[in-house]
Amino acid sequence: EAKAQGRNTVVLFEARLRDRSERRAALREALAEALEAGELVLHLQPQQDLQAQRMVGAEALIRWNSRRLGRWIPPGEMLPAASEAGLMPALDRFVLREAVRMIAGWGDRPDAPRVLGINISVTTLRDPAFAEEVAAALILAGVVPSRLEIEIPENLAIRDLPGVARTLAALRELGVPLALDDFGGGHSGLPHVVRLPVQRLKLDRSIVAGLPDPKSYAVLRATVTLARAMGIEVVGEGVETQSQAFALRRAGCNIIQGYLIARPMPMVELVPPLPEQGAVSRQARA
Ligand code: C2E
Ligand code: MG
Ligand code: MG
Ligand code: MG
């Protein structure tokens, strides 16, 4: 009896594993197709300067509404599948192209973000050709490098540093700002900041979520002090409440991103097309 039950459990477990791996295989296939079919879009989340009371930048976040799977696939599900399928290089190039295209479209509009940040995987940062591809994309679109920021994933291990150092140095040389994402969330921390040529630190949501409690505030203060000493700007991410924003500001972190300001949204919602643009192009055609 007990043996039979044990066997049933094993069979069930195997069925579940098979289900899971089949689901993942379907996801990988659908993603390859989606990249071709243009199903992926970038949503933008604004970054607010608390002192100047205005939007100074935005972060581009990937969104995928899969026709084949019939639903939105969150990044947390999509990125591991992309990684497994070897699609991260293609995904990162898509994000680069789209972001540069958006910035070019905004031109000098004062109501558009001055800087647009993109998330780039470690795999791509290791590619010695990547910095030149960024340069080419910017030149082709006529975009100044200072308007495109590259966010470096926090999971970049110390052992990855030699592999990405050339790319990061080349991007800096080019004038592309670099940010270290999710600082203080994982195991990395201090050694990274000292060794990476970044201009910004994006505080991990876990630090912000603990505010304004004294321990989280102490971590925040220490981080801001350290960053200042190195000439690095700190951005508060995942800010959901006024009291978190207040604590950040009190600690000297003036730029925030989070649901308190706005959720990630389609580009046309953040920067609506100008009404006269339509008129001008109609005139031009007439
Ligand atoms: P991230 O780069 O740290 O992006 C911030 C995440 O926090 C986003 O999740 C955003 O929607 C979410 N968020 C923003 N404000 C708040 C808030 O106030 N409260 C809460 N609870 N969450 C907030 P999302 O879009 O699901 O992305 C998750 C992660 O996936 C990103 O973390 C980034 O590591 C990765 N990712 C997203 N888009 C891309 C992409 O285009 N390329 C690559 N390589 N990775 C991406
Ligand atoms: Mg990010
Ligand atoms: Mg982040
Ligand atoms: Mg994150």
The pLDDT tens digits for 62-109 are: 999 999 888 999 999 999 999 999 999 999 999 999 999 999 999 999
Residue identified by tokens 């006529």 is 142
**How far is ligand 4, taken at its centre, from the CA of residue 239, in Å?**
13
For a mutational test of ligand 1's pocket, the pick from 61, 77, 154, 206, i.e. the residue with the most ligand atoms closer than 8 A to its C-beta, is 61
Task: Name the band, by pLDDT with cuts 50, 70 and 90, for residue 49.
Answer: very high
What does 9-38 look like in DSSP terms, one character per residue?
HHHHHHHHHHHHHHHHHHHHHHHHHHHHHT
Q: Rounded to the nearest 10 degrees, what angle do helices 130-141 and 88-106 cross at?
A: 30
> Ligand 1 atom closest to Cα of 264?
11
User: How far is ligand 3, taken at its centre, from the CA of residue 182, in Å?
Assistant: 4
**What is the average pLDDT value for the chain, to the nearest integer?**
90
Atom of ligand 1 nearest to the CA of 121: 44
Q: Measure the CA–CA gap between 213 and 223, rounded to whole angstroms.
A: 15
CA pair distance 286, 281, nearest whole angstrom: 9
Q: What tokens appear for 268 in the block?
A: 């046309």
CB 257 within 8 A of CB 236: yes
Separation CA 46–CA 130 (nearest Å): 26
The answer on pLDDT for 19 being more than 80 is: no
Give the mutation target among 77, 78, 119, 125 for probing the ligand 1 site: most ligand atoms within 8 A of CB: 119
Calculate how far, in angstroms, residue 181's C-alpha sits from the geometric centre of ligand 4.
7
pTM score, whole prediction? 0.91
> Does 14 have pLDDT greater than 80?
no
- CA angle, residues 220, 221, 227, in degrees to nearest 5: 90
